[in-house]
Amino acid sequence: MSPTPPKLEAAFEITNPLDCDIDAIIAPILAKSSESPIVNFVPANTLDGKLATDVPGKAVPLEDILQEMETVVVSHARRNAHPGFYGYIAGPGLPTDPMAHAFVGALNQNVIGYPGAPGATVVEQTVIGWFRQLAGLPDSSEGAIVSGGSVANLSALAVALYSAIGREYIQAGLASYTEAKPVIVGARTTHFCIQRAALMLGLGAGQVVVVEHDENFRMRPDSLEKTLLSCRDQGLKPVCVVASAGTTVTGSIDPLDALADICENNGIWFHVDAAYGGAGLWSPELRPRFTGIERADSVCMDLHKWFYLAFDGSVLLFRQPELARHVYYTRSDYVQFPKQGTPEEYMFFHFSPELSRRFRGLPAYIAFRYYGGEILGRNIYHNHECAAYLAELVEQDADLELICKPDLSICCFRYNPSHLRDQPGIVDRLNRKIRQRLQEGGDFLLSPTDVENRPVLRVCIVSYTTRAQHMERLVHRVKAIGEELSKL
Ligand SMILES: Cc1ncc(COP(=O)(O)O)c(C=O)c1O
């Protein structure tokens, strides 16, 4: 008897519900992106029961789902493009992004490499080439666009370990190396993802040796030299020095050129975490501050931070891509491409643990071509100008205390009036409350931050919507809240 061909009934066919107007969904979101409050923050249980928690069985109309999105997501989304949003480091998203991300969804490319996504691979290679030029790395450097700075740093550190320990690391892991204990070296100000990377690489989160920083929170080259010597005395093997350009809390740029010299003299991998600050390379005025980045063995720069783009993406670059290929090259029963193939066999998964990948390069390609480096660089510099202006306002005010002059677009300060200077505990509490009250007011949002164990008001400007007037209003507001609270 011949087999019966299966048949899918018409009622079960996957249909396209989108005879609706996508612009009608997106436009109101964009129109409100600068409206206050920055986030309509409610206790999580307020949102209980607003979504269908049982595994969906029957189909429901699109309007119902859009209503749920409105109630839960749109109404409670943080507006990262708001001119008063200064928390963490979250890019505002560019106006080209909704279209670019729709494009990405419609194309649905798995950008593992050329064979499966030829056009998308060439776009990403082009974007990576732009970042290579921005960083001043040689034409021979290569890399990939991974999900974010944490994954980029982890991916780079695995290659640094391989480079320090040698071939055996690939198959036998850390156990193959018994001469000394491998460690990573970084300042106290490096991002915590470096500790997490050390943990995942089997070194242990505690194996990031700390180098002292100066009063501007930049790593001290003399302290790095001493640290490397003392590592050797203690039987530790530094496999990588992680420099920041700039740091997450104060936006400080480590002295990259001097650190590169030390790494070169000691034969140690030099990694530059420019996840936040890399966008400063667009600005001719800020660019000289990054001198030395071009000497890095590996660099990462996040698209979703100061490059303004919507989430997510981090461009990871390797000066010697062949080392990354030794670590990440994999041949399996179902993936059989050469380690160093022809352009038609090009693979991005030879540079990081990520295999399947969204087409992250497209929104960057579209936005960078559309706006160009001149406009983007000018806006990035303006962010710095606003941070520097805020620092000046703070310095001129006897009730405020500047933590350090901004290298990039972050300014940290404290409300610290003279009559409370001998009561640091009260000043700490005041600053925590001021931050909270700013957030409740809806026009400004700063994330809780400590500098040297003391709460500060950290203003991280990574939106092209922020202007000098917002700095003036912020100072005014901080002082008004501070004065009011001091009277209580
Ligand atoms: C300097 C630096 N490196 C790495 C990261 C981690 O990046 P991501 O959140 O994209 O993983 C951050 C996050 O703020 C950062 O500021």
Q: What is the pLDDT of residue 52?
A: 93
Edge-first strand listing for the sheet containing 298-302: 142-146, 314-318, 298-302, 269-273, 236-244, 181-187, 208-211
Tens-digit pLDDT profile for residues 191-218 = 999 999 999 999 999 999 999 999 999 9
The strand pairing partners of 185, in sequence order, are 209, 241
Q: What is the pLDDT of residue 335?
A: 87
Q: Say if ligand 1 is within 6 A of residue 254 CB.
A: no
Write out the residue range of the structural domain in which residue 277 sits. Answer: 102-367
Say if 225 falls within a structural domain: yes
Longest dimension (CA), the chain: 96
Q: Say if ligand 1 is within 6 A of residue 297 CB.
A: no
| Residue 72 per-residue DSSP state | I
> For 271-295, what is the mean pLDDT?
98
Say if 484 falls within a structural domain: no
Tens-digit pLDDT profile for residues 416-440 = 999 999 999 999 999 999 999 999 9
Say if 206 falls within a structural domain: yes
Q: Say if ligand 1 is within 6 A of residue 191 CB.
A: yes
Indicate the number of domains in the chain. Answer: 1
Helices (H), 39-95: 62-68
| 52 neighbors 67 (Cβ within 8 angstroms) | no
Q: Which of 287-296, 326-335, 371-380, 401-410 has the lowest mean pLDDT?
A: 326-335
CATH of the domain at 180: 3.40.640.10
Give the other-Cβ count within 10 Å of 424's Cβ.
12
Q: What is the pLDDT of residue 19?
A: 66
Quote the ligand 1 centre to 191 CA distance (angstroms). 7
Which two three-digit tokens encode residue 40?
């309509």
Which two three-digit tokens encode residue 149?
């700075």
Residues recorded for the chain: 488
CA atoms within 13 A on the CB side of 87: 19
Say if 396 falls within a structural domain: no
Tens-digit pLDDT profile for residues 308-351 = 999 999 999 999 999 999 999 998 999 889 998 999 999 999 99
pLDDT above 70 for 18? no
Taking the CA of residue 89 as reference, the ligand 1 atom at the shortest distance is 14
Say if 457 falls within a structural domain: no
The angle that helices 468-487 and 424-441 make with each other, rounded to 10 degrees, is: 120
pLDDT above 90 for 21? no
Cα–Cα dist 429/424, whole Å: 9
Say if 272 falls within a structural domain: yes
Q: Which of 17-21, 112-116, 152-156, 320-324 has the lowest mean pLDDT?
A: 17-21
Say if 119 falls within a structural domain: yes
Say if 342 falls within a structural domain: yes
What is the percentage of the chain residues whose pLDDT exceeds 70?
A: 100
Taking the CA of residue 244 as reference, the ligand 1 atom at the shortest distance is 1
Choose among 199, 193, 140, 161: nearest CA to 317.
Answer: 140
Residue with the two structure tokens 């800020």: 286
